[in-house]
Amino acid sequence: MHLISILDMEGIIEEVFSLAEELKHRAKRGELEELLRGRTLAMIFEKASTRTRVSFEVAMAQLGGHALYLSPKDMQLGRGETIADTARTLSRYVDAVMIRAYRHGDVVELARHASVPVINGLTDLEHPCQAASDFFTMRELKGRLRGVKLAYVGDGNNVCHSLLLGSAMLGIKFSCATPPGYEPQESIVERARALAEESGAEIEVLHSPREAVAGADFVYTDVWVSMGQESEAERRMRDFRGYQVNSELLRHAPRAKVMHCLPAKRGYEITDEVMDGEASIVWEQAENRLHVQKAILVRLLGGG
Ligand code: CP
Ligand code: NVA
């Protein structure tokens, strides 16, 4: 199986959460089981990464396997070898491929031609490993996900899309506030609304941050300028004014924990005071990438 969208986890997410919980406890006790001894994960990064790269690499090492960092610049991919041929070749060497790409379609194409699992490590459309880890973090804190309220303030981007779809799948009340013109993609919102009818989730797409965060258990934000959007930075900085997660906004969500996938642009989408404050759980989020991805790898690579 591939993990391209958070929705690909529908049948396995509970199992992944339980396994992540178990692996986290064991790692804290210093017990590392080599469930993926001798397995190799190829990791292709078209864009920068700190958390995704390090957490996947450490995950493989702790599981007794090995991770290979590959940059398209140094691969024949960068000289015109096709994605399909790259997929066919890598499938002969490694047990899974993780890829961070600009175009979501490229990851879909890679998966179509790979005979090993392909994991999306972020595209322009989704960031499923991030969302899966974040739902795990929320579940750790609340003991459940169904009925919990998650408010997202900022850009209707890749992270927002995966949180939106995942919330719809898991019965979470998801409310987002974006500036006009920066809403999550209509097709994603429609899909989420359809899923919500079955799961009992509630989906709100708004423009008012105050309205979105009212009664929230979690307030989430992400950068205003994602990787690849640098040329729009000036306009975006203007358009997102008023969408900052700061102490004033949090007065409208007094019990909320604050989340950010990181990296943060401090002073823009989030203030220092909030990011370093009592309500912030951003470092727990970052840590849980490791535990959840270990569980994902064990599930996808089939264990020992
Ligand atoms: N949150 C996240 O994916 O971070 P990196 O870009 O550092 O991998
Ligand atoms: N939305 C951000 C997330 C980084 C992890 C980006 O795509 O750059």
Return the pLDDT at 302: 75
Low-confidence ranges of the chain (pLDDT < 50): 304
CATH of 128-285, one of 3.40.50.740, 3.30.70.1450, 3.30.470.20, 3.40.50.1370: 3.40.50.1370
Q: What is d(CA 122, CA 222) in angstroms, rounded to the nearest whole number?
A: 14
Provide the residue type at 281 as one letter.
Answer: I
Ligand 1 and 158: CB distance under 6 A: no
Cα(34) to ligand 2 centroid in Å equals 31
List residues with catalytic annotation: 100, 127, 130, 222, 261, 289
Q: How far is the CA of 88 from the centre of ligand 1 (A)?
A: 27
Nearest atom of ligand 2 to the alpha carbon of 47: 8
**Nearest-ligand number for the alpha carbon of 45:** 1
Class of domain 6-127+288-301: alpha beta
Q: What are phi and psi of 30, to 5 degrees?
A: 80, 10
Residue 280 phi/psi, 5-degree rounding, is -75, 135
- pLDDT, residue 180, reads 98
Q: Residue 275 in 3-state DSSP?
A: helix
49 CB under 6 A from ligand 1?
yes
Domain boundaries, given as residue ranges, for the chain: 6-127+288-301, 128-285
192 backbone dihedrals φ, ψ, rounded to 5°:
-65, -40
- pLDDT single digits (tens) 42-99: 999 999 999 999 999 999 999 999 999 999 999 999 999 999 999 999 999 999 999 9
Q: Which of 145, 140, 128 is nearest to 28 (CA)?
A: 140
**Do 28 and 22 form a contact (C-beta atoms < 8 A)?**
no
pLDDT at 33: 80
